[in-house]
């Protein structure tokens, strides 16, 4: 069991708000505006679909989506065929899209921060849990499927 700390969705929402606030109140190097800023809707939509798809697979297979709980099923189909972490990928896409909508370089700090926090903290810990719980099948899965895409 992982020690209690902020879970990924809390980081995601906090960084989403930070991205919007930075874009509005500290718009350093504003590189585009409406209607081009609407291009950010594409990664937002892709990220939302990816998160909903992965979440539905967790529910369908009756395993936990909560990173601090022990998983009961190794998911390797659907979104998990192309990414070992489709939900983190979806969150990064949403943050990237929101930053694109804001159109300021400062807003892009949030997707970069979330990526780094996921890459350096959340994912390594979760992968060690998966290795402990599922052993060789998970190690084989890691060889076949990349961490992000």
pLDDT in tens, 94-135: 999 999 999 989 999 999 999 999 999 999 999 999 999 999
Q: What is the pLDDT of residue 67?
A: 85
Both tokens of 96, joined, read 């990237």
Whether the pTM exceeds 0.85: the reply is yes
Locate all alpha helices (DSSP H) within 61-108, ordered by sequence.
86-102
85, part of any domain: yes
Give a yes or no: residue 90 inside a domain. yes
Q: Looking at the 3D structure of the chain, how many domains does it have? A: 1
pLDDT at 129: 95
Query: Is the previous residue joined to 35 through a cis bond, with omega within 30 degrees of 0?
Result: yes
Q: Using CA atoms, how far apart are residues 51 and 9, in angstroms rounded to an integer?
A: 11
Is residue 100 assigned to a domain?
yes
Over 70: is that where the pLDDT of 22 sits?
yes
Structural domain of residue 70, as residue ranges? 36-144
Does some domain include residue 72? yes
Give domain status of residue 29, yes or no: no
Residue 17 located in a structural domain = no
pLDDT of residue 28: 83
Give the CB-side neighbour count of residue 74, counting CA atoms within 13 A. Answer: 17
Does position 3 have pLDDT exceeding 70, yes or no? no
pLDDT of residue 1: 52
Give me the pLDDT at residue 4, please: 59
């Amino acid at each position: 069991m992982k020690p209690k700390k902020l879970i990924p969705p809390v980081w995601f929402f906090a960084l989403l708000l930070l991205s919007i606030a930075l874009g509005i109140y500290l718009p350093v190097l504003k590189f585009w505006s409406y209607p081009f800023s609407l291009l950010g809707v594409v990664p937002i939509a892709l990220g939302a679909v990816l998160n909903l798809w992965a979440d539905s697979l967790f529910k369908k297979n009756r395993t936990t989506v909560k990173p601090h709980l022990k998983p009961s099923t190794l998911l390797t189909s659907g979104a998990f065929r192309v990414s070992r972490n489709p939900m983190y990928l979806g969150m990064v896409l949403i943050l990237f899209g929101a930053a694109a909508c804001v159109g300021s370089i400062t807003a892009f700090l949030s997707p970069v921060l979330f990526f780094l926090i996921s890459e350096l903290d959340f994912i390594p810990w979760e992968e060690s849990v998966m290795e402990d719980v599922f052993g060789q099948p998970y190690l084989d899965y890691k060889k076949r499927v990349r961490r992000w895409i």
